Amino acid sequence: MILEKVINKIEIQSEYKEFVDKYIDHILTEFQDKIHSIYMCGSIPKGTATPFKSDADFTIICANPKDIDYGRLSAIKDKLLAEYAFVTKIDTIICSMDEVLSKPNEWGFWVKIICVCVYGDDIGEKIPPIIISPDFIVDLNRETKEEIERIVQRILSNADDRTLTTRYIKGYSKRLLRALYSLILEDTGVWEDDMLEMKNALLKYCAIDSGLVEYLYACYLDSDVPVEEFLGIANEVYRYFENALNRMAASRTSFE
């Protein structure tokens, strides 16, 4: 089964159009010929963004990520957030062309399936069709453990800052739900980026305790929960995910 693109048509709402255009203009002006292409994912390119609730998610593809100075990138972000207060946050991922092309089930998946090109030549078109399979699911989660460890460290390091822990708990909840969802792709046949639909699919297809899924989704919506309680439940969910992924990897190896 071929995995289809999440966003097939760009439908940026009028109130966000100027913001997106200015982001692209600032990036191109600041970094000039170092940019190959720019992508977006999430509610803004889908046309479902909500002012003062939705954030902006960009991905920049370039020959060498070291060419993009994060300090200058941060200055662009701060300027735009001050000008467009209804955008809650701007996240920017930077990736090399080589990574996209050499890792089709990881970075290739991100650019080809999750994102949509808003500037430049869409490198996702050079990625072969992605077939939903255990191989793909294992490859897709190759860096999940490291990502989870980084998020946990951020929560622990900022335990006294409720604003930051709230943000990280929300992000961790979303990351775990996405990891669990990857396990059931062979059942759903599509990548779902709507969190409610993702939760409902997990309740239908995932063998994990439904109460854990409901807890994570509640934390994604409102992450004002005790840190120790959350980390304990999140760890239980991650152990389930890791065991399921290991079984999948082992079954794949046994047929090689």
Structural domain contains residue 3:
no
Structural domain contains residue 186:
yes
Say if residues 96 and 71 touch (Cβ distance below 8 Å).
Answer: no
The alpha carbon of 133 is separated from its chain's Cα centroid by a whole number of angstroms, namely 20
Range list of β-strands (E), the chain: 35-41, 56-62, 90-96, 116-120
Looking at the structure, tell me whether residues 181 and 241 fall in a common domain: yes
CA distance 234 to 236: 5
Looking at the structure, tell me whether residues 49 and 121 fall in a common domain: yes
Structural domain contains residue 2:
no
State which of 126, 144, 167 marks the end of a domain.
126
Structural domain contains residue 1:
no
Structural domain contains residue 8:
no
The kind and range of the H/E element at 133 are: none
Looking at the structure, tell me whether residues 66 and 121 fall in a common domain: yes
Structural domain contains residue 147:
yes
CATH of the domain at 21: 3.30.460.10
pLDDT in tens, the chain (256 residues): 899 999 989 999 999 999 999 999 999 999 988 999 999 999 999 999 999 999 999 999 999 999 999 999 999 999 999 999 999 999 999 999 999 999 999 999 999 999 999 999 999 999 999 999 999 999 999 999 999 999 999 999 998 898 889 989 999 999 999 999 999 999 999 999 899 999 999 999 999 999 999 999 999 998 789 999 999 999 999 999 999 999 998 876 544 4
The string over 217-233, giving b where at least 16 C-beta atoms fall within 10 Å of a residue's C-beta and e elsewhere, is bebbeebebebeebbeb
Q: What DSSP character marks residue 2?
A: B
CA distance 66 to 184: 36
Residue located via tokens 């005790």: 226
What total of structural domains would you count in the chain?
2
Looking at the structure, tell me whether residues 183 and 84 fall in a common domain: no
State which of 109, 126, 143 marks the end of a domain.
126
Looking at the structure, tell me whether residues 71 and 167 fall in a common domain: no
User: Can you tell me whether residue 107 is helix, strand or coil?
Assistant: helix
Looking at the structure, tell me whether residues 197 and 103 fall in a common domain: no
Q: What DSSP character marks residue 5?
A: P
State which of 86, 108, 126 marks the end of a domain.
126
Range of the domain at 150: 134-254
Looking at the structure, tell me whether residues 87 and 161 fall in a common domain: no
Looking at the structure, tell me whether residues 143 and 165 fall in a common domain: yes
β-strands 90-96, 56-62 pairing: parallel
End-to-end CA separation in angstroms for the chain: 21
Q: Tell me how long the chain is.
A: 256
Looking at the structure, tell me whether residues 138 and 211 fall in a common domain: yes
Phi-psi region of 33 (alpha: psi -120 to 50; beta: other; left: phi over 0): alpha
Looking at the structure, tell me whether residues 140 and 116 fall in a common domain: no
